[in-house]
Amino acid sequence: MADVSGAARRRGRVPTGRTIAVFSKSHAPTLRFIWACFVVAVACALLATGVIEIEPLRPFQPFAFVGMLMFGLGIVGGVIWLTRFKPILEVTTEGLRDRRLSTDIIPWAGIASVTVSDRRRRQVLQLSINVEVADRMMRTRAQTSQMKGRDVSISMVGLSGTFDDLIAALRRVEAETRR
């Protein structure tokens, strides 16, 4: 259960504003992993139980039981991982939170400038953070390679959305805050 105390809200850990967009990890790689484990586990089960009789593979039949167990555990692990992920990037009327950088929300007032740049043929949102907000974020999590100084880069690589979805969410926030 998430900590929703007043202290957590004051620290910026729980968004109190309206959520505009949430981007999570992409499910595709995990689903492919689960499917591959399932196929190999079924093949091992068929070989181990003797449903498939392949004469040259008969000496390896005991290993098929081990393979069936290991790939079965891979399926269980993949399903558990799928159910445990949290949103990675949240856009709210309060600010922006990228859990890859910090658990804190970057308030809109704490962002000095926003630019769009290209890195390795991918669009990236460059945020220039005010000094006091950047210092608070660096105290809550060790400074990472993505947080150099007071500039933050936000990419949509590996997330369940496109860069255009992120820009559209930012425009919706801008429209809501004008009201």
pLDDT at 114: 84
At 87-112, the pLDDT tens digits run 888 888 888 888 887 777 888 888 88
**118-127 mean pLDDT:** 85
Q: Are 130 and 111 in contact (CB under 8 A)?
A: yes
Structure tokens at 11: 């620290």
At 13-27, the pLDDT tens digits run 444 566 666 777 777
Neighbours of 41 (CB within 10 A): 20
Least confident of 103-112, 147-156, 164-173: 147-156
Contacts of 101 (CB under 8 A, 6+ apart): 137, 141, 144, 146, 147, 152, 154
At 19-76, the pLDDT tens digits run 666 777 777 778 888 899 998 888 888 888 878 777 777 787 788 888 888 888 888 8
pTM, two decimal places: 0.57
Q: Are 106 and 96 in contact (CB under 8 A)?
A: yes
Task: Find where tokens 């105290």 sit.
Answer: 139
* Whole-number percent of the chain with pLDDT over 70: 78
